[in-house]
Amino acid sequence: MKPRAVSICWLSTTILFTLFISRAWAFSINDVAKQAQDLAGKSFEAPKSNLPSQFREMKFADYQQIQFNHDKALWNKLKTPFKLEFYHQGMYFDTPIRVNEITASSVKEIKYNPDYFNFGPVKHEPETVKNLGFAGIKVLYPVNSADKNDEIVSMLGASYFRVIGKGQVYGLSARGLAIDTALPSGEEFPRFREFWVERPKQGDKHLVIYALLDSPRATGAYRFIVTPGRDTVVDVESKVFLRDKVGKLGVAPLTSMFLFGPNQPSPTLNFRPALHDSNGLSIHAGNGEWIWRPLNNPKHLAISTFIVEDPKGFGLLQRGRDFRDYEDLDDRYDLRPSGWVEPRGDWGKGKVELIEIPTADETNDNVVAFWTPDVLPDAKTPLVLNYRLRFTRDEDKLHSQDIAYVAATLRSIGDVKQSNLIREPDGSVAFLVDFVGPVLKKLNANAPVASQISIGDNGEMVENNVRYNPVTKGWRLTVRFKVKDDKKPVEVRAALISGEKTLSETWSYQLPANE
């Protein structure tokens, strides 16, 4: 009996020891949150650049020449579809970030090595790069075909990251946090200073990334679960600590580009009908209302605010997936994803804010959208908000099937058909809005569909009519109005109704000031 008792005792000790080890290495967002909270209790230390001048002053075309050697990718020899690669420092990506790998038994830093990179034609002395570092990370996964690794996640610069799914190309960006965007005091750009990436197991269909965020007035801990597919989905857990007061805190920010489109045609002749990464802000409010705000490229900074308590979703969408909508063989705007935020739990009182900044070309992201809470926590209490980010080309599937949505917003000079059938401009502005969706396809062409419309004090209504569109099997709203003061914007809202029933989302448009 004695040996048996000793054997059982040894087995119990082994189990306890194994459990202790697994718990010791069970890395979680709380480990990052502890660091974020500790940082928040200290004064901010600005990161110091270690870049030699030749790398800091290089042009973007030169920076693009520095490529990661694919055969050096992390997990190359593991039986997992995920691979991890890195960005080199250069240009304004001038401070190194720390990257760690989480395994079943350890957390270990991935050390920078210049041998990981092919510098191409970029001339440099080996001594100048041996002590540099990584600027960001990228995730590869065979999302389009089993025999090719595609880059699906890029995390580079401040707290920016871009994500794509099957058949998509990079377009809009997401961010960890936005602070004081478009305020006179100037925007603060928090940065991810450190990443931890879980080594994926053979059968894993997702990848887990942790990030530590830091800035003069905020710190944060983030957990990203990336699940690739036709829609690539990123589940986000966040805990934000405030070092100091902020004027505006932007949660789940999306950043995009809008240069021109049918609602605001190009001022110069261009073969492309539209040039944008997104063409509208969509909001699913807590009260169930759907709102569509077409984007503009205004002449002056424009800020639109939508009071939304406990939002069900919001995002910057790319509506219009036909190549003919863009006619661009190089940049393929028809393949750029929409970004959709789905809050988890109740976010409370707040607002969705849309910021539109003038831009002269497509190289500048000039559109920002985020949710901002009405009440911010004190320095000792983290703001805990979780959400899902969806990157999709199937925008119609985001919407409730019983609500029609805006497929197109077309702008024109307002005119009147004369007795000789020639159209004569009358000084008004015309918008034609096409509503589509399953709920409209079910209706007879003679159904009593009307519009519910309102216009701000700076506009005078001239025409408002709705007619069946046999091509889209939907309805087209035509609205014309005269602007009283072209130095001020005009706000217009419209929706389709049938009797007491609302048939569509709300088309909410702002005609920018013309000065």
**Does the pLDDT value for residue 4 go beyond 50?**
no
Q: Does the reported pTM lie above 0.85? A: yes
Neighbours of 492 (CB within 10 A): 20
Confidence band for 7, pLDDT divided at 50, 70 and 90: very low
Confidence band for 181, pLDDT divided at 50, 70 and 90: very high
- Please give the full DSSP string across 356-412, using - where no structure is assigned: E---SSTTS--EEEEEEESS---TTS-EEEEEEEEEES-GGGGS-TTSBEEEEEEEE
Residue range 100-115: mean pLDDT, rounded: 96
Residue linked to tokens 């005078």:
460
For the chain, first and last CA: distance in Å? 96
Q: For residue 218, what pLDDT is reported? A: 97
Residue range 370-374: mean pLDDT, rounded: 97
SS3 at position 143? strand
**Does the pLDDT value for residue 17 go beyond 80?**
no
Confidence band for 377, pLDDT divided at 50, 70 and 90: confident
Torsion of CA 303, 309, 315, 320, to 10 degrees: -90
Cβ–Cβ < 8 Å for 432, 473: no
At 262-317, the pLDDT tens digits run 999 999 999 999 999 999 999 999 999 999 999 999 999 999 999 999 999 999 99
Which residues, listed in sequence order, are joined to residue 194 by a DSSP beta bridge?
Answer: 98, 212
**Does the pLDDT value for residue 21 go beyond 50?**
no
Residue range 6-34: mean pLDDT, rounded: 60
Do 29-398 and 405-511 agree at the fold level? no
Q: Which residues contact 436 (CB under 8 A, 6 or more apart)?
A: 404, 405, 407, 472, 473, 474
Look at 422 and 167; give whichever has higher pLDDT: 167
Q: Which two tokens stand for residue 236?
A: 């986000």
- Which secondary-structure segment (H or E) carries 480? strand 474-483
> In terms of Cα–Cα distance, which of 206, 208, 211, 226 is closest to 164?
226
In the chain, count H helices and then E strands: 6, 33
User: How far is Cα 489 from Cα 5, in angstroms, rounded to an integer?
Assistant: 85
Cβ–Cβ < 8 Å for 244, 390: no
Q: For residue 378, what pLDDT is reported? A: 84
Q: Taking all residues of the chain, what is their mean pLDDT, rounded to a whole number? A: 93
Q: For 116-141, give the secondary structure using H, E and C.
A: HEECCCCCCCHHHHCCCCEEEEEEEE
Cα dihedral sign, 87-93-98-100: negative
**Domain 29-398 CATH assignment equals 2.70.98.10:** yes
Q: For residue 25, what pLDDT is reported? A: 57
At 39-60, the pLDDT tens digits run 999 999 999 999 998 899 999 9
The CA distances from residue 382 to 27, 44, 153, 208, 349, in Å, are 19, 18, 27, 22, 17
Least confident of 16-30, 235-249, 374-388: 16-30
Confidence band for 514, pLDDT divided at 50, 70 and 90: confident
Reported in sequence order, the residue ranges of 273-332 that DSSP labels E, i.e. its strands, are: 275-276, 280-284, 290-294, 302-307, 313-317
Q: Which CATH architecture has domain 405-511?
A: Sandwich (2.60)
User: How far is Cα 314 from Cα 340, in angstroms, rounded to an integer?
Assistant: 6
Confidence band for 20, pLDDT divided at 50, 70 and 90: very low
Confidence band for 459, pLDDT divided at 50, 70 and 90: very high
User: How far is Cα 201 from Cα 96, in angstroms, rounded to an integer?
Assistant: 28
At 119-152, the pLDDT tens digits run 999 888 888 898 999 999 999 999 999 999 999 9
- As a residue count, the chain comes to 515
User: How far is Cα 64 from Cα 306, in angstroms, rounded to an integer?
Assistant: 39
> In terms of Cα–Cα distance, which of 345, 347, 337, 332 is closest to 316?
337
**Does the pLDDT value for residue 226 go beyond 50?**
yes
Residue range 433-445: mean pLDDT, rounded: 96
Residue range 156-171: mean pLDDT, rounded: 98
**Percent of the chain scoring above 70 in pLDDT:** 95
User: How far is Cα 470 from Cα 220, in angstroms, rounded to an integer?
Assistant: 52
Q: For residue 515, what pLDDT is reported? A: 58
> In terms of Cα–Cα distance, which of 110, 138, 137, 141 is closest to 204?
141
- Bridge pairing between strands 313-317 and 280-284: antiparallel
Q: Residue 488 corresponds to which amino acid?
A: K
**Percent of the chain scoring above 90 in pLDDT:** 87
Q: For residue 424, what pLDDT is reported? A: 87
Indicate the domain borders of the chain: 29-398, 405-511
Residue linked to tokens 């025409």:
463
**Does the pLDDT value for residue 24 go beyond 50?**
no
Q: For residue 100, what pLDDT is reported? A: 98
SS3 at position 70? helix
